[in-house]
Amino acid sequence: MVTKISSTSGDFQAVVNKLPEFKRSEIGFVLRNYDAEYKLALVFNLFDEVIKNENDKMDGILSKYEQMWDLIHAERLEDVYKLKPLVDGKKVCKVLDRKPGPWMAPLTNQILVWQLDNPDKSEEECLQFIKGVLEK
């Protein structure tokens, strides 16, 4: 995990440095890359930026990471690594009367993006989204 955190620190830091411009889904997917270890990734990247920058930038760096931490909690993303699609593949196939296949992997990703950006939406609304995606 440490190797993964180290090798993807640029991606993590890019999100932190552009807050609050990122959508909830973008932050969620960054955190999902680290599973339950996203807190370790946050601390590692904080220390990495502190080490690479001068002391006069310390307050700004700490503020950015505090903002990220607050955003994770405000957006209820603490357990995002456990998130399952609101509608699973079996139900999608049944509702759409389609057979499972390679078309489902990108759709599952789109469902998760939609779900993260629409955390209060229902399963029925998700099915409407799916139908709209597949009509394109």
pLDDT of residue 2: 60
pLDDT of residue 78: 96
pLDDT of residue 107: 92
| Structure token digits, residue 47 | 């220390």
pLDDT of residue 1: 67
Selection from 105, 103, 104, 127 nearest residue 114 by Cα: 127
pLDDT of residue 13: 86
Q: What is the pLDDT along the chain (136 residues), one digit of tens a residue?
A: 667 676 777 788 888 988 888 899 999 999 999 999 999 999 999 999 998 888 788 899 999 999 999 999 999 999 999 999 999 989 999 988 889 999 899 999 999 999 999 999 999 999 999 989 888 7
**Does the pTM exceed 0.75?**
yes
Selection from 55, 25, 30 nearest residue 41 by Cα: 30
pLDDT of residue 102: 92
DSSP 77-99: -TTGGG---SS-HHHHHHHHT--
